Structure 1
Amino acid sequence: MTLMTIQDASHRSRLSEPTLRYYEEVGLIGPIARDERSGHRRYREEDVDNLQALACLRAMGVGIEDMRTYQANRMIGRETAAEQRDLLTRHAKRIEREIATLHVHLNYLEAKAGLWDARDRDDANAEAVASERVNAMLGDLEAVLS
């Protein structure tokens, strides 16, 4: 069995060393084996697999409690398939809402840039059209900001 240093595990999982220590501290992984002489952490391949799963969840904005649930359910297996599905579906819907909000922000910024472009070109007709577009979007913008 190959054991890895915290640096190796950090590199493989793309999580920082402090994050690895924190995840062990809060019980998301581990306990991690220690070198008998130095006391340094030594990660197994299985530990790194768990860290990679956690890194994916973290990148998607999943919080610690849901990560803990996800990890516990992974250990149980198929019996928790419905709970795993529901947990991931809930986060997928959250991301869909975030994407929709970002689309509103993007459209608003593009409309405002178009307005300022028309002003820069001193094009009164284009400015009027751009101004109407911006005003039409204010309701959408207010809805996502509240």
Structure 2
Amino acid sequence: MIVDASPEKVWQTVGNFAEGPRLTTPDIFVDCRLIEPDLRQMTFADGNVVRERLIARDEQARRIVWAWEGEEVSHDNTSMQVFAENNGRSRLVWIHDTAGRALRLACRRDGPNWAGDPPLARKSQLKTGPVKERSGHAPERSFIAVL
């Protein structure tokens, strides 16, 4: 997705593992905090709580990777990377790889319908600026937004 903000400003938000989800989508996440140095707990607006573990964070490459922890899914891994574009804008590449059936069942039962849904950014805007979105995703297994 193309973001009308500098790569540094976008990275300052999405690279913030402790509070990034709440900063980028405050209408979806009402709380996000570290409960261990590499484990965050997020509370959705509907009260559901999930935990995600930081896998990697590369300041120079402006790339962050995390995984959902819990019995709800057998595999759930997400990465975001920020690239410079022309005119002071940024390109945010968001990849979400999951065991589709398990996540669909967990989200249908407990939380927002992520399965088959475009990225959360479609429902909101990054606080760093408006988002333009063109999404492509493969049903069942992974979501990749490379725009």
Normalising to structure 2: TM-score of the pair?
Answer: 0.27
User: Which of structures 1 and 2 has the larger relative contact order (alpha carbons within 8 angstroms, sep 6+)?
Assistant: 2
Bigger fraction of residues in helix:
1
